[in-house]
Amino acid sequence: MKTRITELFGIKYPIVLPGMSWISTPELVAAVCNAGGIGWLATGPLSTKETEAAIKKIRSLTDKPFGAGATLLMPGAKENAEVLIDMQVPVINVSLGKPDDIVKRVHAYGGKVIQTVVSEKHALSAVKGGVDALQVTGYEAAAHGGKVANLCLIPAIREKVDVPIVASGGFATGHGLAAALALGADAVAMGTRLATTKESPVHERTKQAHLAATVEDTLYSNRFDGLWCRVLKSPSAEKSIRQGMNLFRAAIVGPRIAKSLNLSVVKVMLGMLAQPDKMITLAHMATAFDKIKAATEDGDYDKKGVQLIGQCAGLIHDMPTVQEVIEKIMQEAREASSKAAEMLK
């Protein structure tokens, strides 16, 4: 299958693994790339040394094109972006911030930049900034989507921009891929689907919760990590959303996060104070940090942890290998497209 995304990134299939913290590890990224798609390494929880090691690990596991994320709102993101540029990562996925000079520097070595957006306004700004493609995140997604579902969001943005689009949120089957292409997208990102595979580092207990979930078993709120996101419905998730931000916990967890990223605690705190509009969001993220990690790595999604998950969890009923799931999705997409073409004659 050829789309503008497959041609832009030099991949076989229009399937993307988004950069999910503690999930989009070198092993899962490489598995997706080797199966014909492309994945973004999640650098949010990584220090610069860990990011460098992760890039080297990916390159030892695959010779296919790959990418990495730069979540610019997060402490340490700019430092990690420097590592990605120095190591000439083929694709950089920028989110939660303007790419500044990243686009120019990545283009200088022949790389590509794809920016995550959740609205028409953000899409137009990103295109104006010179990005090569957009990753459009709709209401159905885990984190961090907007308030418009992809059925309307994708064609609305397609009307206004001419760059390739990766549709993210609600996609877990070949039928979804075929639908996204019909809406004007050039590929789909499948976070929850690829997180529920044998190669995924998500704890087995949490994977089983993915399989048990229906499309209605999620909660959507901006009171968990400060941005609109979707989480698996559970007692701990409901409690976390009711409580909202805990400044005391943020004060405890924040310095530990800074230390894990090899950043100065003073620098992080001063950065927050210098940007008061982002201060509350960062405090929310600090309180959410341990909860997301607990659900993903330890399997505690219901007592203390909180699992980010998309509505498409209700469409997932098995746990195949990455290779198997991508081959199945492509076969389903071909069949769905052929059936639609027959009906439209």
Taking only the tens place, the pLDDT of each residue in 153-205 is: 999 999 999 999 999 999 999 999 999 999 999 999 999 999 999 999 999 99
Same domain (yes/no): 190, 145: yes
| Predicted local distance difference test score (pLDDT) of residue 288 | 83
Does residue 269 surpass a pLDDT of 80? no
Same domain, 151 and 254: no
Answer whether residue 260 is part of any domain.
Answer: yes
Q: Same structural domain for residues 183 and 38? A: yes
pLDDT of 270 above 80: no
User: pLDDT tens digit string along 273-326?
Assistant: 555 555 556 666 667 888 999 999 999 999 999 999 999 999 999 999 999 999
DSSP labels, 5-39: HHHHHT-SSSEEE---TTTS-HHHHHHHHHTTSEE
Q: What mean pLDDT comes out for the span 57-84? A: 93
Local confidence band at 143 (pLDDT 50, 70, 90 cut-offs): confident
Query: Is there a single domain that holds both residue 195 and residue 218?
Result: no
Give domain status of residue 18, yes or no.
yes
Note whether residue 307 is domain-resident. Answer: no
Whether the ω angle into residue 175 lies within 30 degrees of 0, i.e. cis, is no
**Judgement on whether residues 210 and 194 belong to the same structural domain of the protein:** no
Sorting pLDDT into bands at 50, 70 and 90, what band is 259?
A: low
213 plus 189 within the same structural domain: no
Q: Give the mean pLDDT of 135-150.
A: 94
* 15-17 and 165-168 strand pairing: unpaired
Considering the domain architecture, whether residues 292 and 156 belong to the same structural domain is answered as: no
Enclosing domain of residue 277: 206-298
My answer on whether 61 and 112 are in the same domain is yes
pLDDT of 282: 63
Q: 191 and 256, same structural domain?
A: no
Which range is least confidently modeled, 15-24, 85-94, 269-278? 269-278
pLDDT class of 68 with cuts at 50, 70, 90: very high
Q: Identify which has the larger pLDDT, 257 or 329.
A: 329
State residue 290's pLDDT score. Answer: 86
Predicted confidence at residue 34, as pLDDT, reads: 98
> Is 312 within the bounds of a domain?
no
Residue 244's pLDDT is 73
> What is the percent of the chain where pLDDT is above 70?
88
Instruction: Compute the mean pLDDT over every residue in the chain, rounded to the nearest whole number.
Output: 91
Do 75 and 35 sit in the same domain of this protein? yes
Beta strands in the chain (DSSP E): 15-17, 38-41, 67-71, 91-95, 112-117, 133-137, 165-168, 187-189, 218-221, 229-232
| Cβ neighbour number for residue 124 with a 10 Å cutoff | 14
Residues 62 and 180 in one domain: yes
Give pLDDT, residue 32: 98
Contact 337, 178 (CB under 8 A): yes
**How many domains does the chain fold into?**
2
Domain-embedded: residue 86? yes
Read off the CATH number of the domain in which 41 is found. 3.20.20.70
Give yes or no for residue 253 having a pLDDT over 90.
no
Confidence at residue 7, expressed as pLDDT on a 0 to 100 scale: 98
Q: Quote the CA–CA distance of 33 and 286 in Å, as a whole number.
A: 31
Amino acid 284: pLDDT:
65
Unique residue bearing structure tokens 């199966």: 35
Give residue 196's pLDDT: 98
Q: Which residue has the higher pLDDT, 106 or 78?
A: 106
* Residue 309 placed within a domain: no
pTM: 0.90
Give the model's confidence band at 146: pLDDT under 50 very low, under 70 low, under 90 confident, else very high.
confident
Least confident of 44-48, 184-188, 192-196, 207-211: 44-48
> Average pLDDT, stretch 15-29?
97
37 shares a domain with 18 = yes
Neighbours of 156 (CB within 10 A): 17
Establish if 310 belongs to a structural domain. no
Q: Using alpha carbons, select from 289, 325, 314 the residue that is nearest to residue 200.
A: 325
